[in-house]
Structure 1
Amino acid sequence: MSTILVTGGTGTLGRPLVERLRAGGHEVRVLSRSSREYPVDLLTGAGLEAALAGVEAVVHCASSPKGGDEKAAGHLIRAARAAGVGHLVYISIVGVDEVPLPYYRAKHRVERMIEESGLGWTVLRTTQFHDLVLGYFEAVAKLPVLLVPGGVRDQPIAVEEVADRLAGLAVAAPAGRVADMGGPEVLDMAAAARAYLKAAGRRRPVLGVRLPGKTFAAFRRGGHLTPAHAVGRGTFTEFLARRTGAAA
């Protein structure tokens, strides 16, 4: 069995990924600044040398829309090369090369850094997780009107399915850029919002607002969608039913 390091191993994707890898009999090191065994700060690189000793593969899930992804990736790549890591797996987002959102652009630059790192590498792009779409609706539903970006669709996917795919990639040979992974259906955001309200037992009018700028123009064009790779199985409606049932 392999020794695998997971950055962002306590996050939405990292937790189910770590569970799957450990269930497969692998030794998994979860990076965290507060970890007793492997305290690591990716933004400074502190602790990486010890954490990477003897590691065969790294799955890089740590990411933040607040910035710092490129700096963290640089430290991780340099330390992985020094440690002789054979495989670096990176989770990215469908549309990072199409949608000019600053966070997407940073993710795309990290992809390029990994491709040029000299390490064996695999990059998987997926569409947005169900959890992210739900979080958006829960936040905006606090207002009297639930506002959604007009003309924008989404293709949400179950995070558990992404964790399954990543776990398989982590223990396989480096594969470069693999096929994108999208949810099973492309949904109009207004329709998804109404599905959320119904599942949550809430009443709000849903209003689509056409937002200006190149970023939302790219979203309206579907730059973040991959209908040709709609390989996900769990639908957003099924996800909502499970969540609301658990809450009840």
Structure 2
Amino acid sequence: MFLSDISIRRPVFASVICLLLVAFGIVSFTRLSLREYPAIDPPIVSIRVNYPGAAASIVEARITQVIENRISGVEGINFIQSSSEDGSSRVTLEFSVDRDIDSAANDVRDRVSGLLNNLPEEADPPEVTKANSDDDVIVWYSLNAPGMTVPEITDYAERYIVEKFSVLDGVANVRVGGAQTYAMRIWIDRKELAARGLTVADIENALRAENVELPAGDIESDERQFTVRLQRTFRDIEDFSG
């Protein structure tokens, strides 16, 4: 009775209230989300393997296809997308929306860990990460330091900048683009190899066997304890040529 009494006594006020309610309803209706088309974030798992110095065709044959064959039987996969580039392989798996992302990532890690012996020794271990379909690069920073080479700038970025950005809230991944790492290039004389009955693989195996750093135990006294290391890593040109 209260609303009807006010509407009769003050018709203009009642009309204004009705118009406001209609306007509020129209605005609210335009901002309602459709339940038939909800925002769905499908579980996505990414596998990345670096194979320095390998061409895209070799990466495709020796890494990408091996990974695809191994993980194709994981439960709940909707589709698999892969890309092979010079020096790197990336395989992306999208799972059904009812698949738990943590469980899916664990299943993929289990499958990938079983094929490590089938990958080239020169390739880096596979990196399995959980990805978001909405993830995107939000910012790029360009580094330039007069008097520093690109490998020196790369080393500085990986030591200091990547670590500081990685701990920021909301940052999922920090990647250094255009990086150049220190490397030693060795030219081999084919005539000398033939004279000694050696192959390139023999040289490679010898370098791998000699370029190591191993623990050699501890030396203890009444007051001190020393850790002994067998340091045989190559640090300069003379180490490689010796």
Q: Same fold (TM over 0.5)?
A: no
TM-score by length of 2: 0.22
Higher relative CO (Cα under 8 Å, sequence separation at least 6) belongs to 1
If you compute each CA radius of gyration, which structure gives the higher value, 1 or 2?
2
TM-score by length of 1: 0.22
